[in-house]
Structure 1
Amino acid sequence: MRERERVSALLLLLVILLGASLFQNQISQNLTSPGSKVLSDGGKIDPFEVSIQGSIVDNYANISYCLFYDNYASETASEIEWFLGLQSELRLSNISVELGSKIYWGRVLPEVQAIEIYNESVEANKSAVLVQRYEDGYAIKMNVESGAEVLLSVFVEGLLTRHSGLYSLSLPVGRNGIENTGFAFSLEIISNFAPVTGFSVHGLPNIVASDLSSGIRLEYTADTLTIEERIEVIYTLDRQTGGAQLLAYNNGSENFFVYLLAPSIVEDVESARRQYVFVLDRSGSMSGIKIQQAKVAFNTMIGGLRTIDTFNVIAFDHEILKLWNEPHSGTTTNIQDAQNWINSISARGSTNFHDAAISGLLTFAEGANAKAMLMLSDGLPTAGEIQSPEGILSAIAEANTLDISIATVAFGSDSDENLMANIATQNNGFFVFIEPDEDASTELLDFYRIFSTPVADDYEIIFSGAFEVVSLSPLRESAFFNGTEIVVSGRYIEGMTVTTSIDYVTGTEIYTNTIGGATQEYEHVEFIWAQQRINYLLKIIKLHGENETLRSQITSIGMQYGIAVGGYTAMVLTAYDTSSIEEDPVDDYTYPSPSPPATHITYAAPIAPPAFDSSLNIVSSSMVFGILGLVVIILLVSRNRRG
């Protein structure tokens, strides 16, 4: 009996020793396996310091964001997610990470490949950044390796265009802003065209302004600052008269050009004859405050019509109702009849958005009048032949043969802002969103001043000598709006001339610009062309569908010029990529080339951190347990033989 008890005790000891050995080996594998994921779900960190600095030179913005992250004391990696919702004129041009004495630069690859590389970096506990382009901005992910301090720099650039006589630069600080963070801001606005006559800054408590020889410098610093979402800088130039500018650039093999056209800013009495169609949603989803706001907005806008203008009104739910069969002039009687008709309607039924939009476009008559359609809705289609946003956008683009400018007003927090905004963006219009608690008439005042004051009946632009012209705005039969600009880019061989004729109410103005061989002074011209070319190809895909040629062109241009295009390319940066490292980082963070630096160094893998040394002790302990287990087995075998 005692013998059996001894054997049982030895067997129990054996099980304990072997279990301990397996447990220790598992810990050792988790610590030393190169494929294990070190990222912790809870390892989120915020920047302890943020700076935004840059310049606007002749309306071309060059901005850098610098965000400092400290993960030095952590034993696990941390992942940062940041969304940068940039205005349409701007693009994210590059990223960099400063880690120790080295700077790593981003590179653009096919999107799937970039995602794979980023995930591999996360698995390897290496700092990495992934930038993906979405319709409303850039999603930035950064993995900060354990035991590291990292400086993330994000570079943004683009040509600002005039709207209602003003230039605006919107600088987002993520969807949720920053809270109690050290902050520095510095921006120079320089103009060689005309003096800077005024500016305003929103989002910062105060600003220090100083004069420069050709502009101003705006600065702000704070030890701790909380910003909700964005900083906005608005400025104006002493340039009310119309004008055109032709810039060219040679990259060593090709000539690129950018043509900027700004009509004169005129008084409302001098603006062009207008033909309007107002389309108002009266479906059930517009019930309550929405329909009330829409009626207020309609009454505010229609009250400014002139007798030389013509208009018609459409109200829709699942059915389409038109006030008149033919457009009527903007007399006091006709305006009052239209207001009474709209005030009498109530919200009911489903939403046939597609048929309402197409009916509105078909209401317009051909002619020299400036044409504009205004849609007031929550943009939530529930009826009709086509209900998907993509299908509606495509149908509108196909039906808009007269290049009618479509402005949209979205009501309510549940509205489809993307549909409404895209209708305006893709049809040379304007978009505004009205919150439920906002005064619709006040919010729409500035919007209506833009929408209601086209300054030209017609205009024509002729490019001689250019073999490629890219414009996102129609170049014929479309109204200029007061204080706006048009930007056209392209390529030419030796020399070119641009002749523009604008038919104002007060007469015709003609601008002629000629240029010969290009210089290498305006490097940004090529990047404007690349971005416009991609946008043009994306517009073709929306209208006619994608094919391999279009996909290949977008991917090729995106990779060559460092442009992230949603669904095609993405930007990635990895801390173990030896092809994108720069030694001895400089303090001056100016705009870098979109490609990695030409001179590279060989980066040796760092020595394993001390944390991994503890695994040696664990492995040694498991070996001891294994040896003890072996001794127990030998003793058991020896005892059995004796028995």
Structure 2
Amino acid sequence: MERSVVQITLFGLLLSLASTLPNKDDWDIYSFHINSTVTSRYATTVITSRVANRMNESKEIEFHVRIPKNAFISKFRMFIDGQVYDGVVKAKEQAQQQYSEAVSRGESAGLVSSVGRTLEEFKTSVTVAAHKKVTFELTYEELMKRTRGKYELQIHARPMQPVSDFKVDVHIQEEAGFSFIDVKGGLSTKALANAITKTHTDKEAWVYFYPTVDQQKMCDSCSDQGMNGDLVIIYDVNRDNGLGHIKKSDRYFVHHFAPSDLPRVPKNVVFVIDQSGSMSGRKILQTRTALIHILNDLAEDDHFGLITFDGNILHWKRELVQANSKNLESAKNFASNIQARGSTDINEAVLQGARMLNDHSREGSASILILLTDGDPTSGVTNLENIQSNVRQAIAGKFPLYCLGFGFDVDFKFLEKMSLQNNGVARRIYEDSDADLQLKGFYEEVATPLLTDVTMIYVGGTNLTQTNFSQYYNGSEIVVAGEITDNNIETFTPQVVAISSNRRIIFSKSNKTVESTGTVSDDRIQRVWAYLTVKQLLDKELQLSGPEKEKVKKEALELSLKYSFVTPLTSMVVTKPPGENTDVLHKPKEGETPQRWQPRVDHSFSRQYLAPSSRRSSGGVIHDNPVWRPLSRQLNHHSHLASDVMGKQSIGRYGGYSLSGISNTRTRAVQGMM
């Protein structure tokens, strides 16, 4: 009964404050342009929004966009009444004081926050005088990642109202030439087909998306609030079986290595599947479905094993077996009968999987260990550092460990560190209706090893990014960047040494596959090197501790500041006209719990959680993690409240955004205020 009272009271309070939130009809986005240029598979995207205040009084105007999670914001500026206001990237600790001061005044502070699988959200706002205009300009950069034989450039279009001058321009330059290029996504539907123009030559491609105002209202993902969807440009480049493509300037190089037409390497794969009680329901059903699909895709020269675990470890077979029809049928029967129950002994389960692979090493094969779990260890060894140490000793660098974290109860940072320590990666599996397809999709990325023990060698190169890779998979790509020693291109000699099946193979210089550029592209190639270096340093920092960790962290921070990247170590201070609230822009880590706003002594709900329009900044926090999300937008009359207001589930949607459950501490604060 008490819970119901809280729900009704909360809902009534939100509705009573609806009129205080800004009405977007008061301002007009008259121009919205997205311009993306991709060179050497490095994308620089600029979003420009021009907005006019049509009212006879000052109005707060919001800039609100979504960008890819892998991107780094590198520039933000506002043009107001002839003045330019630039965002400044600072060390997070330095920017923190401004953030804390804003929060202590009851203001929301601007954040980049995580919104789903592939996107992050950037919001800020500024007060614009009557009949004046403001231009927002945001730049972000990302290195395109090749997955399953293609690159995907994702552009999210969500201007929040139909726009008379709406344009998306994409220009891709690729010296290797295109093997294919296509346009997908929710904005490529039939209703918008004639708004998309795609042209390309051998080495350049252009995609234009110019929807009319009517089209922006009538397409599948459109409404009176305009478009809200993705345009995804999918492409791949021409390849051969040689050294790959190398872009060089006088000072830097970037090497894309993805040989084709190599024989597949037989693999040994062990699946370690969590069947603890928290996997019950849809999770375990989807896991069964995915496993059966994956087993169907194994080749006959592959060997495999299945381990399920809760508080106990259950082997389908004690040893790896060949993927023949008889064994596969038995394994699928085993998979279809996995039941969720018990606690979670991650340590022993992963060690058993490592033992199976260690006991079954085959010359000329590639071994892979895949863990799927949805929770923290609750039985056996439960100390996370001890588990990581045990696993690292058991694997001893002999094969990669891939950790799939199902949902948001899992300690993703623990899985990420354990994967990185063992030459693998961690991936979150989202609790959606297609979770089985997500699992199968990840497996397809590692399903076909082509090379093992890959070593990238660069005579005449220095300050190199990662050069050793345990395995190279079909459809992926290895990217290495570095500086050219003494700016001497003539002495620069690349080479790749790897194992194909059970023979050593060398990829050396071939004029056909190596391309060179002049100094005009030096800045672009240098930024590719900086982007890749920062990404890899952040991964390395996660694995280390003590002085080594601080050294790597310092190096990543210095590069982030030098190249103005908003990374987990830096923040951008969004400067505004005098008298405006300062926004501080952070980049979240996957699954990171955002900084929580501490309630003020007077527990002023409207100032602390729903900042009124006269004081608020539109940087309300929206995160994947279940936390309170302050409302800084117009309430949607289609809003609804779910039943579990005090739980972790989404309890309401306002204007397309979720209002999440409140933590226990926050719950008590809210109840006290009511």
In structure 1, the partner of 2:281 is 288
Distance 1:189 1:550, change over 3 A: closer
- Residues of 2 paired with 1:170 and 1:121: CA distance? 33
| Match among 130, 144, 160 for residue 126 of structure 2 | 144
Deviation of the 1:316 alpha carbon? 0.5
1:349-364 equivalence runs, <5 A: 349-364=342-357
Q: Amino acid of the residue matched to residue 210 of structure 2?
A: T
Contact preservation (8 Å) 1:379, 1:419: no
Residue pair 1:131, 1:572 contacting (<8 A) in 2 also? no
SS in 1 for 2:37: strand
Give runs of aligned pairs for residues 138-537 of structure 1, distance below 5 A: 140-147=122-129, 148-173=132-157, 178=160, 180-181=162-163, 183-204=166-187, 205-206=192-193, 207-212=196-201, 214-222=203-211, 223=213, 224-225=216-217, 226=222, 227-239=227-239, 241-250=241-250, 255-265=251-261, 270-365=263-358, 366=361, 368-379=364-375, 381-386=377-382, 400-402=395-397, 404-409=399-404, 427-429=423-425, 431=427, 433=429, 435=431, 437-438=433-434, 440=436, 446-471=441-466, 475-476=468-469, 478-494=470-486, 495-505=491-501, 509-513=505-509, 519=519, 521-537=521-537
Inter-CA distance 397–498: structure 2 relative to 1 (3 Å threshold):
farther
* Residue of structure 2 aligned with 1:565, choices 564, 567, 571: 567
SS at match of 1:523: helix
Deviations 1:210-229 (A, max 9, x none): 34563332112232353445
Amino acid aligned to 1:470? T
Contact 1:167 1:236 in 2 (8 A): yes
The CA distance in 1 between the partners of 2:184 and 2:439, in whole Å, is 21
CA gap 1:399/1:571 in 2 versus in 1, 3 angstroms: farther
| Superposition deviation, residue 273 in structure 1 | 1.3
Q: Deviation digits for residues 45-67 of structure 1, max 9, x if unmatched?
A: 58735321222234221211122
- Residue aligned with 1:522, SS: helix
Residues 4-23 of structure 1: pairs in structure 2 closer than 5 A: none
SS at match of 2:283: helix
Query: Which residue matches 1:554?
Result: 556
Q: How many residues align?
A: 520
Amino acid at match of 2:565: I
Q: Which moved more, 1:430-439 or 1:60-69?
A: 430-439
Superimposed CA distance per residue, residues 462-519 of structure 1 (whole angstroms, 9 cap, x where no aligned partner): 2323333222xx714x221112111112234234322112433497653224999984
Q: Trace 1:35-74 onto structure 2 (pairs within 5 A).
A: 42-43=21-22, 45=24, 48=29, 49-71=31-53, 73=55
SS of corresponding position for 2:522: coil
Which amino acid is 1:454 matched to?
P
Output the CA distance in 1 between the equivalents of 2:58 and 2:67: 29
Contact 1:537–1:550, Cα closer than 8 Å, also in 2: yes
Deviations 1:519-564 (Å, cap 9, x if unpaired)?
A: 4533222222222322333223222225444443333222111011
> Does the C-alpha gap of structure 1 residues 541 and 413 become closer, same or farther in structure 2, counting only changes over 3 Å?
closer
Partner of 1:630: none
Of residues 77-86 and 193-202 in structure 1, the stretch that sits farther from structure 2 once superposed is 77-86
Could you tell me which residue of structure 2 aligns to residue 633 of structure 1?
none
Shift of 1:305: 2.4
Per-residue CA deviations over 1:34-85 (Å, capped at 9, x if unaligned) read xxxxxx9734758735321222234221211122344463756637474645
Counterpart of 1:455 in 2: which secondary structure? Answer: strand
* Alpha-carbon distance between aligned partners in 2 of 1:317 and 1:482, rounded to the nearest angstrom: 34
Task: Tell me the amino acid that sits aligned with residue 455 of structure 2.
Answer: E
Of residues 424-433 and 497-506 in structure 1, the stretch that sits farther from structure 2 once superposed is 424-433
Closer, same or farther in 2 for the Cα pair 1:337/1:158, shift >3 Å? Answer: same
* Aligned 8 A contact 2:241 2:261 in 1: yes
Q: Is the 8 A contact 1:457 1:504 kept in 2?
A: yes
Change (3 A) 1:103 1:397: farther
Deviation string, structure 1 residues 381-419 (Cα, Å, up to 9, x no partner): 44443376x987787667653263444555568777777
CA–CA separation in structure 1 for the residues paired with 2:521 and 2:528:
14
Contact 1:258 1:525 in 2 (8 A): yes
Describe the superposition over 1:424-449 as per-residue Cα deviations: whole angstroms up to 9, x where unpaired.
Answer: 78844574736554483x66555443
Question: Distance between the aligned counterparts of 1:248 and 1:394, measured in 2?
Answer: 41
Task: Give the AA of the match of 1:42.
Answer: L
Distance (Å, rounded) in 2 between the aligned partners of 1:44 and 1:398: 59
Query: How far 1:103 sits from its partner (Å)?
Result: 3.0
Match for 2:544: what amino acid?
H
Give 1:348 shift: 0.6
1:244 counterpart letter in structure 2: G
Q: Distance in 1 between matches of 2:357 and 2:238?
A: 37
**Distance (Å, rounded) in 1 between the aligned partners of 2:73 and 2:508:** 33
Instruction: State the SS of the aligned residue for 1:145.
Output: strand
Deviation at 1:312, TM superposition (A): 1.7
The residue matched to 1:156 in structure 2 has which SS?
A: strand
Number of the residue aligned with 2:653 = none
Amino acid at match of 1:280: I
Aligned partner letter, 1:491? E
C-alpha separation between the residues in 2 aligned to 1:41 and 1:391? 52
Question: Aligned partners of 1:573, 1:483: CA distance in 2, in Å?
Answer: 40
Which residue matches 1:96?
77
| CA shift digits 1:148-185 (9 cap, x unpaired) | 522111112233132222111122357xx845455321
Q: Give the TM-score normalised by the residue count of structure 1.
A: 0.70
Distance 2:38 2:275 in 1: 45
Comparing 524-533 and 311-320, the one that deviates more: 524-533
Instruction: Give the secondary structure class of the aligned counterpart of 1:364.
Output: helix
Percent of aligned positions that are identical: 23
Tell me how large the CA RMSD over aligned residues is.
4.0
SS where residue 259 of structure 1 aligns?
strand
Q: For 1:226-258, what per-residue CA distance to the aligned partner results, in whole angstroms no more than 9, with x for missing partners?
A: 3445332211233354542333345xxxx3332
CA-CA distance at 1:187 after TM superposition: 1.0
1-structure distance, mates of 2:371, 2:90: 40
Note if contact 1:167-1:234 (Cα within 8 Å) is conserved in structure 2. yes
In the alignment, what sits opposite 1:584?
none
Structure 2 counterpart of 1:150, which letter? V
Aligned mates of 2:245, 2:541 — CA distance in 1: 31
Distance 1:520 1:449, change over 3 A: same
> Does the alignment pair 1:545 with 2:539?
no
Contact 2:243 2:496 in 1 (8 A): no
Structure 1 or 2, whichever has the larger Rg, is 1
Indicate if the aligned counterparts of 1:65 and 1:155 stay in contact, CA closer than 8 A: yes
CA contact (8 A) 2:283 2:431 kept: no
Amino acid at match of 1:351: T
* 8 Å CA contact 1:290, 1:436 repeated in 2: no
Q: Which amino acid aligns with 2:207?
A: L
- Post-superposition Cα deviations, 1:335-376, rounded to whole Å, max 9, x if no partner, equal 233333333442110122344334433432255421222333
Q: 3-state SS of the aligned residue for 2:492?
A: strand
- Please name the residue that 1:113 is paired with: 94
Q: Tell me the amino acid that sits aligned with residue 260 of structure 2.
A: S
